[in-house]
Amino acid sequence: MKLYVSLTSPFARKVRVALEEKHLADRIETVLVDPWNDDGTLAAVNPLLQVPTLARDDGLAITNSDTIMNWLDRAYPEPGLWPQDPDARFRAEAVAALAQTVIEYAVFLVIESRRPESQRSAHMIERRRQGIVDTAAALNDGFHASQEQFDLDSIGVACALAYVDFRHPQLDWRSRAPKLDAWMKWALQRPSMKATAPPA
Ligand SMILES: N[C@@H](CCC(=O)N[C@@H](CS)C(=O)NCC(=O)O)C(=O)O
């Protein structure tokens, strides 16, 4: 089984953290690719040209970070990365969806900043920046961050906020999310987060 990643992709980082948490990192070959400058390696498994992509040994390529993590959690159930209780699980999935969209917003801001200034949308940039800060404030109350477990919702939130800090350090999500800020300090110390930090 091969996992196609780039070391700066926050979507790929979610999957890499999940693999570390499930003690599977050594059992899956990691293939480093650049989705923006592919030499054909990624195109051979994913016509969307996106990372992460997981290519199973039977030839099936799984795309999309959440789909990959859900498959991994089903294929390798121990330790499970979703709560057992159905309502708790749905709440965790709702948080994971918010975290995924925070990543999408932050990636949008990076892509937008690489376009010529005349082609950028100031309105959309402001809308996405505000969305990130407001979502962090909402998660400050709505996400019951545990320091005992690091489930898929926690992995999503940690990778999302770490990516915001990595690419948009000037974006102040902390002042309205002090509990989340304190939790992030703990989350970043987890071996799985340390092992997957983007290169400086
Ligand atoms: N929904 C996908 C998004 C994956 C994605 O956009 N990955 C970026 C890297 S951060 C990429 O490969 N971008 C290249 C492109 O979109 O052409 C997921 O959750 O895995």
**Could you tell me the CATH number of the domain that includes residue 64?**
3.40.30.10
- The per-residue pLDDT for 158 is 98
Residue keyed to tokens 């990595």: 166
198 within a domain of the structure (yes/no): no
Sign of CA dihedral 30, 97, 61, 35: negative
Residue nearest to atom 12 of ligand 1 (CA): 50
Indicate whether residue 149 lines ligand 1 (CB < 6 A): no
The answer on 93 and 39 residing in a single domain is no
Between the CA of 148 and the centroid of ligand 1 the distance, in Å, is 30
Q: Residue with the nearest Cα to atom 1 of ligand 1?
A: 64
Provide the domain limits for residue 53: 2-75
Residue whose Cα lies nearest atom 9 of ligand 1: it is 9
Same-domain check for residues 71 and 90:
no
Q: Which of 14, 34, 38, 51, when mutated, tests ligand 1's pocket best, judged by the most ligand atoms within 8 Å of its CB?
A: 51
Same domain, yes or no: 27 and 101: no
What pLDDT, on the 0 to 100 scale, is given for residue 147? 80
Q: Helix (H) and strand (E) counts for the chain?
A: 7, 4
pLDDT of residue 56: 97
* Domain presence at residue 80: no
Are 91 and 189 members of one domain? yes
Residue 52 lies in a domain: yes
**Which ligand 1 atom is at minimum distance from the Cα of 8?**
10
Whether 125 and 162 share a structural domain: yes
Are 92 and 30 members of one domain? no
Is 81 part of any domain? no
pLDDT digits (tens, 9 = 90+) for 66-81: 999 999 999 999 999 9
Q: Do residues 159 and 17 lie in contact, with contact meaning Cβ atoms separated by under 8 Å?
A: yes
Distance in angstroms (rounded) separating the CA atoms of residues 39 and 34: 8
Q: Are residues 92 and 65 in the same domain?
A: no
Tell whether 11 is covered by a domain.
yes
Q: Please name every residue paired with 54 in a beta bridge, in sequence order, or none if there are none.
A: 3, 62
Instruction: Tell whether 115 and 152 lie within a shared domain.
Output: yes
Q: Considering only CA atoms, which residue is closest to atom 13 of ligand 1?
A: 50
Q: Is the CB of 30 under 6 A from ligand 1?
A: no
- Give the domain-ending residue among 33, 55, 75: 75
Q: Is residue 49 part of a domain?
A: yes
Verdict on whether the full-model pTM lies above 0.95: yes
Q: What is the CATH number of the domain that holds 94?
A: 1.20.1050.10
Instruction: Tell me, yes or no, whether 62 and 124 share the same domain.
Output: no
Does the C-beta of 156 come closer than 6 Å to ligand 1? no
Q: What one-character DSSP code corresponds to residue 150?
A: -
Segments in the chain below pLDDT 70: none
The reply to whether 68 and 118 lie within a common domain is no
Sheet holding 61-63, edge to edge: 29-32, 2-5, 53-55, 61-63
- Is 49 near ligand 1, meaning CB less than 6 Å away? yes
Encode pLDDT of 95-123 as tens digits.
Answer: 999 999 999 999 999 999 999 999 999 99
Q: Are residues 123 and 145 in the same domain?
A: yes
pLDDT of residue 142: 84
State the total domains in the chain. 2
Would you say residue 67 lies in a domain?
A: yes
- Same domain (yes/no): 96, 175: yes
Residue 99 lies in a domain: yes
Query: E strands within the chain?
Result: 2-5, 29-32, 53-55, 61-63
